[in-house]
Amino acid sequence: PSGRKVLIVYAHQEPKSFNGSLKNIAVEELSKQGCSVTVSDLYAMHFEPRATRNDIVGSLHNSELFNYEVEAGKAYRRGGLSSDLIEEQKKVQEADLLIFQFPLYWFSMPAIMKGWMDRVLAEGFAYDFPNCYDSGLLKNKLALFSFTTGGSKEMYGKETTSGDIRYVLWPMQHGIMHFCGVKVLAPNICFSPGRVSEENRKQMLNAWAQRLKTIWKEEPINCSAEWYFK
């Protein structure tokens, strides 16, 4: 793994949080392996989550009727996206592995991270219809979603009110990452760290550190609907 590049996109407001510890472990463990690790700490960066015409520098392709996807795609191709986006795209471009670290909010990622997806994964950069899914433009990259939940593992069974946790992963892993051609590794899910013992939390952190030791040997999940809904 020496020489491999990792980008951790991290969304938590508190550095001393459990998410903060998971992020720190990933930085430590991967750096120890000789990987070069970059962190985009979205809250610390005051990352702008809204996709607006401010993302386009210079004149619009169609100033009469604003279409974000079209304008961002054209701007990307002429190097006319705002500097914060160019910077994030460069980090993505260079990364072999993307790790998304966040607490689950309302069965999804926090708004600031969803905004990162909305703005950074521009048309022409991440996909270029019909080049999506297996022919998405970010193929040869790996992604891993590492997150914490409020509910316990038992609350996310197929027969429970919440339903299988894999249903929650479908829009994130399949609808975003796989759409852009990225291969997805199995998620790292820490169930309800806020409601378990200190001992359990230590075990979760330890399991993450152990897993990262052999992360480069892992095979991506089967990226068909079957993995999520079977």
Averaged pLDDT of the chain? 97
The pLDDT tens digits of the residues spanning 117-146 come to 999 999 999 999 999 999 999 999 999 999
pTM of this structure: 0.97
Give 80-131 pLDDT, tens digit per residue.
Answer: 999 999 999 999 999 999 999 999 999 999 999 999 999 999 999 999 999 9
For residue 158, what pLDDT is reported? 87
Give the whole-angstrom CA distance, residue 184 versus residue 214.
Answer: 16
What is the rounded CA–CA span in Å between residue 230 and residue 219? 19
CATH number of the CATH domain containing 13: 3.40.50.360
Nearest to 103 by CA among 151, 68, 55: 151
The whole-number average pLDDT for the span 8-23 is: 98
> What are the b/e assignments for 117-128, b being 16+ CB within 10 Å?
bbbbbbbbbbbb
74: containing domain: 5-229
Total number of domains in the chain? 1
| 197 phi and psi angles, rounded to 5 deg | -70, 160
